[in-house]
Amino acid sequence: MRGSVGWVIAGVGIVLVLVATGLIGDRDRSGESVAAGEWTQDVCAAVGVWRGQIEAISESFRLSAESNDQTETAAPTPEGKLGAAQLALERAIESADTLVEAIDRAGTPDTAGGEEAADQVSSWANGAENDLEQAEDLLDDEPDSLEEDIERVTEVARLIAGALESGRQVLATVATSDPELEAAFRDSSTCQQLREETG
């Protein structure tokens, strides 16, 4: 079972990381000042791709977990739910690493509050990666019971959900911290799409 689950989740991770890498391309504006519109366009695009990755990886894990429920009569093992969760988190951490790189390469918006805004978004991206690594640490050891397994999976879900929600809050805060950035967030096509997806 691990083999088929692994191919599904790994495939999702590879495809979406390639998409994110294509988004970054050769543009590296790290440490440079860029127009507010360019910065918001790149940042919202990077966050949108990352959210899509997390959603796809989470869905792959959910489907594999449901399959395990239907085929396994014993408590979950590293070859079942736990193994699938570990692989899903590996892919999620890779996507978060790509997110951090994309945010850094977006540069700093050339506005009054641009440096602070860039720092806030960068701090969130690094924090999201740290949260996912923390979630992975929870799954390092085989659980002693089904109850412990459920607790771990619940905590992993909480950390992932927290990373998604904190990202939404950070972008909302940054978007209202500077009049130029507020206009740029409003006019950016990728930010508009992200708002539609996050509500």
pLDDT digits (tens, 9 = 90+) for 142-173: 777 778 877 877 777 788 888 888 999 999 99
Which pLDDT does position 28 carry in this prediction?
85
User: Residue for token digits 């602070």?
Assistant: 116
| pLDDT band with cut points at 50, 70 and 90 for residue 17 | very low
For residue 36, give the DSSP letter: H
- Provide mean pLDDT across the span 57-79: 56
| pLDDT band with cut points at 50, 70 and 90 for residue 82 | low
Which residues on neighbouring strands pair with residue 33, listed in sequence order? 108
| pLDDT band with cut points at 50, 70 and 90 for residue 99 | very high
Which pLDDT does position 81 carry in this prediction?
61
| Higher local confidence (pLDDT), 125 or 63 | 125
User: Residue for token digits 């923390």?
Assistant: 134
CA angle 136, 139, 142 (to 5 degrees): 160
Contact present, 189 and 48 (Cβ < 8 Å): no
Which pLDDT does position 27 carry in this prediction?
74
What is the full DSSP assignment across 124-160? HHHHHHHHHHHHHHHTSSPPSSHHHHHHHHHHHHHHH
Residue 115 pLDDT > 90, yes or no?
yes
| pLDDT band with cut points at 50, 70 and 90 for residue 192 | very high
The two three-digit tokens of residue 67, written as one number:
């399959």
CA distance linking residue 176 with residue 59, whole number of Å: 33
CB atoms within 10 A of CB 104: 19
Strand locations in the chain (E): 33-34, 108-109
Which pLDDT does position 78 carry in this prediction?
44
| pLDDT band with cut points at 50, 70 and 90 for residue 182 | very high
When mean pLDDT is compared across 7-11, 72-76, 173-177, the lowest value belongs to 7-11
Whole-model pTM: value is 0.78
User: Residue for token digits 């909480």?
Assistant: 158
